[in-house]
Amino acid sequence: MNQQPRSLLMISLLSTIARFAGVGLNFAVAIVLTRHLPMAEAGMVFMLMTLVTGVSLFSRLGVEQWLVRDVARLPVEQMAVQAQHLRDAYRMVMVSSGIFMLGWLVFTPLVQHWLFDDLIKIEALLLAGTGIVTFNLVMMNAAFLKAVRHTSPSILVQNSLPAISYMLLLLVFWQGFQHEQHYLWLYMVSLALAGIASFYWLRPWWQHFQPLSPPSLTIREVLRQSLPLAPVSFFSFLMLWADTLMTGWLLSNEDVALFTVAARLSFVSLFFLGALDATIYPRLLAIQQHQAARLPRFFWQATLLVAGVLGIVTLILLLMGEILLEVFRPEYRQAASTLALLLVAQLVRALSLTFSFMFIIRAQVRFLNSLLMLALLVNIVANLLLIPRYGIEGAAMATLVANLLMTGAIAFLFFHKRLLREPEPATQGTPC
């Protein structure tokens, strides 16, 4: 019984180290951009990154959550079945990505005006739509590695590969990346390189990718299973995504740069949360499937681990906030209060992580989805009320208010429905 906590701690530590490497690389890219571009142009490239990653997330329609849930429950030796699930996921995501890319083309003129103040070149914005499919390749491969418990490679693929690709291209084209918005073109090429490179970590499964074999699930069947999980996937990104977009809509590109830098620093805590997510969730699924009696003990160990790690990370970042902001440029120190609010908001959100997992495991996702949608609506309304009055601090306040509501409601419903108890077969929810 004592071996499990040590195993969880060790794997979490390795995952956190891998996640920290990704944090460092992403910050290196952000620092290069903020120090070599005017604030308005830095805000523009950050906004484009936010748009591409956000639209890519929506286009996946929860497929990565379905992939992790179903593959994590398979025995590790069933590599052919695992690969078949990944192929089914690819087919679904390629179709949905194509549909969202068409939508990107249609709305490009409006996005250019509303979010970029007509400063971004229309050609660059149009081509950025290709980032939807290339970034989705990175995320699907990372999700698969997470499901098969290759935790550190999963984290490196998801967080480090895009940053490494972008940094290498910036170094190769160092003399000219600042001119004629070349940094935008390099970002799009970097996503394509990252998508191709991510297949390297799937080498053990290459032999099981048989293009001529029929799919085990149709696109409609995958969509039916993944769509109920989509809000869970969306919410991990959606609030800060909405905050950034509304900041760009209601304020200037300079304000977008300030808010985005503060948000990126607050993402440090989310990177640690992601490392814990990648460690805990597949093991929670496996324990529930094969050793249900151990589930409560493991659940509370994981919950305490999340609270402890994220609490320490948040405290350190709060103490070092202004110093970290000044690394980007002295002008970014004015975002210190925004950073503090976002850090507290991320800590509040982190406390709901393991509780949310149990809604998925117990096939109670519809309740979780309702709470997430309510929190998002509160976030949007709070943004509309607070940003005009408080600027970027208002966007951070909106995130904090929504996260408080979400975490409190999830915890209340978790205890009310007694999700740690094994349900009777007759009362168990319909799998989603």
3-state secondary structure of 204: helix
Type of residue at 71: V
CA 327-32-194 angle, to 5 degrees, is 125
How many CB atoms lie under 10 A from the CB of residue 361?
Answer: 19
Nearest to 57 by CA among 125, 205, 158, 169: 158
Report d(CA 67, CA 142) in Å as an integer. Answer: 11
Q: How many CA atoms within 13 Å lie on the side-chain side of 429?
A: 14
Spell out the alpha helix ranges (H) of 227-335. Answer: 230-250, 253-290, 295-328
88, 130, 202, 213, 379 from 210: Cα distances, Å: 12, 26, 14, 6, 45
**Alpha-carbon span 100 to 106, nearest angstrom:** 10
DSSP conformational letter for 217? S
390 neighbors 397 (Cβ within 8 angstroms): yes
Per-residue model confidence as pLDDT tens digits over 216-257: 788 899 999 998 888 776 776 677 677 877 888 888 878 888
**Which of 19-33, 214-228, 351-365, 368-382 comes out lowest in average pLDDT?**
19-33
Distance (Å, rounded) from C-alpha 171 to C-alpha 159?
19
pLDDT digits (tens, 9 = 90+) for 157-199: 888 899 999 999 999 999 888 888 999 999 999 999 999 999 9
Q: Which amino acid is at 332?
A: Y
User: Residue 282 contacts by C-beta under 8 Å, 6 or more apart in sequence?
Assistant: 68, 72, 146, 147, 149
Interatomic CA distance for residues 364 and 362, integer angstroms: 5
Assigned token pair, 349: 């959100």
The span from the CA of 299 to the CA of 21, in Å, is 27
Cβ pair 219, 95 in contact under 8 A:
yes
Query: Structure tokens of 422?
Result: 């094994």
Grouping H, G, I as helix, E, B as strand and the rest as coil, residue 430 is coil
For the stretch 309-362, pLDDT in tens is 999 999 999 999 999 999 888 888 999 999 999 999 999 999 998 998 888 888
List, as one string, the DSSP characters of 114-180.
Answer: HTTTT-S-HHHHHHGGGHHHHHHHHHHHHHHHHHTT-HHHHHIIIIIHHHHHHHHHHHHTTTTTTST
Which residue did the predictor score with more confidence, 44 or 149? 44
Type of residue at 40 = A
Measured distance CA(123)–CA(221) in Å, rounded: 37
Return the pLDDT at 382: 94
Q: What tokens does 327 get? A: 């690394």
The span from the CA of 48 to the CA of 402, in Å, is 25
By the 10 Å C-beta count (0-12 exposed, 13-18 middle, 19+ buried), 102 is classed as exposed
What's the count of helices (H) and strands (E) in the chain, helices before strands?
17, 0
Per DSSP, the three-state class of 330 is helix
Task: With cut-offs at 50, 70 and 90, classify the pLDDT of residue 372.
Answer: confident
Nearest Cα to Cα of residue 306 among 52, 8, 6: 8
Find how far residue 313's CA is from the centre of its chain.
Answer: 18
- 302: Cβ contacts below 8 Å, ≥ 6 apart: 8, 276, 280, 284, 354
Q: How many CB atoms lie within 10 A of CB 221?
A: 13
In angstroms, rounded to a whole number, what is the distance separating the alpha carbons of residues 413 and 292? 21
The residues, any chain, with a CB within 8 Å of residue 348's CB and separated by 6 or more, are: 400, 403, 404, 407
**Distance between CA atoms of 240 and 379, rounded to whole angstroms?**
10
pLDDT in tens, 66-109: 999 899 888 888 888 899 999 999 999 999 999 999 999 999 99
Q: What is the share, in percent, of the chain residues with pLDDT greater than 90?
A: 47
Could you tell me which residue, 21 or 135, shows the higher pLDDT?
A: 135
